C-alpha cells in the first residue's frame, strides 16, 4: 500500500490544508482584536450538554476564548439532570407556567445536582481542553443574593388575579461580582451554578437564563451568548431573524412572532442589554463550535439583540 503522505498528491493535500488554516487565522484576526480583553458570558445547557461530541466542542471553545484573550464566564443549567435525580429519588415535581414548584426537599436535590454533579462536569469539559476552570455556585462569596419569585395568574373561574406559590424559586436581587473578578483576574474561568441565597440563608433555585442575564449586566459584558436548542429567534415563516432591536423584540412578542419558551429568553436578553451589555445573542448550541462561529465569523450564527 502506498503512503499518500509521501506522494506528490499527499504533499499537495497537506499544503492546501495548511493554506486553509492560515486563511482562517487571517480572517479571524479582526474579530480576535475586537474581543481582546472583553468579557463574554455564556449560558450553557440543553441538548448540547447531553451529547458527548457537542460537550467536548463547547469545552474547547471556552478554553480557546481564554487563550486568545477573552474573559469567558459560564452559567449552566441542568433541568434534565435534575429531573433524572428527582425521578431516581422518587420526589414528585409539579410546574406552574413552566417553572418548577420547589419545596425544601426539591431545592436540596436541585442544589446537589446543579452545584455538584453538573457544575463539576462543565468545569471538567473546559479543564480537559487545556484551560483552568473553577466550578462555583451563586451562593459562594454571596455572589447571587436571591429573592422569592412571585408570579400571578388569572383564576379561570373567577377572573381574579391570584399569586402562585412556587416555593423556593427565586430571582436575582443583587449580583456581587467580586468573586468573578477575582477568578478571571487570576486567569481562571468561572463556571457558575444558578442557585442563590437570601438574607436569611435560604437557598433558592433560579432559572439559568435569568442568572446569565443578570451576571452579564452586572459585569457590563460585551456579549451574552444564550445557547439553546433552536437556531435563534424565528419569524412566522420559521426563518432566522439575524438581528433585533429592543423595540423589535417588543413588537415580536405583541404580534405573536415570539411565543412560548422563547419569550423569557428574549426578555432576559433585553434586560441584560438594558443593564449595559453591548449585545445578547440567542444561538443554537447544537452547532459544533457555536461560540466561535458567533464571535469570530462575519454575520454571526444566531439572533443578535441590541439596544
Distances (CA, A) of 146 to 143, 152, 213, 296, 297: 9, 19, 14, 35, 37
Q: Check residues 48 and 64 and name the one with the higher pLDDT.
A: 64
Q: What pTM does this model have? A: 0.88
Can you spell out the DSSP letters for 93-161? --EETTEE-B-HHHHHHHHHIIIIIIHHHHHHHHHHTTS-EEEEETTGGG-EEEEE--EEEE-TTT--E
Least-confidence region, from 13-17, 44-48, 113-117, 175-179: 13-17
Q: How much is the average pLDDT of 161-173?
A: 87
Q: Check residues 299 and 228 and name the one with the higher pLDDT.
A: 228
Distances (CA, A) of 270 to 33, 101, 108: 26, 26, 31
Whether pLDDT at 3 is above 60: no
Q: How confident is the model at residue 164 (pLDDT cuts 50, 70, 90)?
A: confident
Q: Backbone dihedral region of 36: left (phi > 0), alpha (psi from -120 to 50 degrees) or beta?
A: beta
CB 62 within 8 A of CB 126: yes
Q: How much is the average pLDDT of 72-100?
A: 88
Q: Where are the alpha helices (DSSP H) in the chain?
A: 8-35, 47-50, 52-67, 79-88, 104-112, 119-128, 178-185, 208-219, 246-254, 262-274, 290-296
Locus of grid cell 435563534: 232
Q: Check residues 258 and 301 and name the one with the higher pLDDT.
A: 258
In the structure grid, which three cell numbers stand for residue 105, read together? 426537599
Whether pLDDT at 67 is above 60: yes
Q: How much is the average pLDDT of 37-56?
A: 87
Q: How confident is the model at residue 301 (pLDDT cuts 50, 70, 90)?
A: confident
Q: How confident is the model at residue 52 (pLDDT cuts 50, 70, 90)?
A: confident
| Residue 260: CB atoms within 10 Å | 8
Provide the residue count of the chain.
307
Q: How much is the average pLDDT of 49-63?
A: 90
Q: What's the pLDDT at 24?
A: 65
Q: How much is the average pLDDT of 157-172?
A: 81
In the structure grid, which three cell numbers stand for residue 70, read together? 477573552
Crossing angle for the helix pair 262-274 and 208-219, to the nearest 10 degrees: 10
Distance CA 174, CA 145 (A): 5
The three-point CA angle 59-296-265 to 5° equals 70
φ/ψ (deg, to 5) at 161: -80, 130
Q: What's the pLDDT at 5?
A: 58
Rounded to the nearest integer, the mean pLDDT of the chain is 89
The three-point CA angle 94-122-130 to 5° equals 175
* DSSP reduced 3-state for 296: helix
Q: What's the pLDDT at 40?
A: 97
Q: How confident is the model at residue 157 (pLDDT cuts 50, 70, 90)?
A: low
Q: Encode pLDDT of 224-266 as tens digits.
A: 999 998 899 999 999 999 999 999 999 999 999 999 889 999 9
Judging by beta carbons within 10 Å of its beta carbon (0-12, 13-18, 19+), is residue 118 exposed, middle or buried?
buried
CB 186 within 8 A of CB 224: no
Amino acid at each position: 500500500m502506498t503512503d499518500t503522505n509521501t506522494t506528490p498528491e499527499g504533499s499537495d493535500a497537506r499544503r492546501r490544508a495548511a493554506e486553509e488554516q492560515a486563511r482562517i487565522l487571517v480572517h479571524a484576526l479582526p474579530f480576535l482584536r475586537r474581543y481582546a480583553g472583553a468579557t463574554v458570558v455564556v449560558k450553557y445547557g440543553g441538548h448540547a450538554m447531553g451529547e458527548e461530541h457537542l460537550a467536548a466542542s463547547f469545552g474547547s471553545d471556552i478554553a480557546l476564548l481564554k487563550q486568545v484573550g477573552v474573559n469567558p464566564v459560564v452559567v449552566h443549567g441542568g433541568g434534565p439532570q435534575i429531573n433524572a435525580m428527582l425521578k431516581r429519588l422518587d420526589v414528585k415535581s409539579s410546574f406552574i407556567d413552566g417553572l418548577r414548584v420547589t419545596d425544601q426537599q426539591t431545592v436540596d436535590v436541585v442544589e446537589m445536582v446543579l452545584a455538584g454533579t453538573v457544575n463539576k462536569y462543565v468545569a471538567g469539559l473546559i479543564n480537559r481542553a487545556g484551560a483552568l476552570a473553577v466550578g462555583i455556585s451563586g451562593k459562594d462569596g454571596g455572589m447571587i443574593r436571591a429573592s422569592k419569585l412571585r408570579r400571578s395568574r388569572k383564576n379561570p373561574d373567577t377572573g381574579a388575579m391570584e399569586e402562585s406559590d412556587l416555593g423556593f424559586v427565586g430571582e436575582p436581587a443583587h449580583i456581587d461580582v467580586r468573586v468573578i473578578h477575582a477568578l478571571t483576574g487570576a486567569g481562571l474561568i468561572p463556571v457558575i451554578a444558578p442557585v442563590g441565597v437570601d438574607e436569611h440563608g435560604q437557598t433558592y433555585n433560579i432559572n439559568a437564563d435569568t442568572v446569565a442575564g443578570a451576571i452579564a449586566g452586572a459585569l457590563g459584558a460585551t456579549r451574552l451568548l444564550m445557547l439553546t436548542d433552536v437556531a435563534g429567534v424565528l419569524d412566522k415563516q420559521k426563518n432566522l431573524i439575524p438581528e433585533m432591536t429592543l423595540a423589535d423584540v417588543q413588537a415580536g412578542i405583541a404580534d405573536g412572532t415570539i411565543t412560548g419558551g422563547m419569550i423569557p429568553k428574549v426578555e432576559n436578553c433585553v434586560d441584560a442589554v438594558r443593564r449595559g451589555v453591548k449585545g445578547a445573542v440567542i444561538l443554537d448550541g447544537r452547532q459544533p463550535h457555536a461560540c466561535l462561529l458567533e464571535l469570530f465569523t462575519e454575520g454571526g450564527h444566531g439572533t443578535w439583540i441590541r439596544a
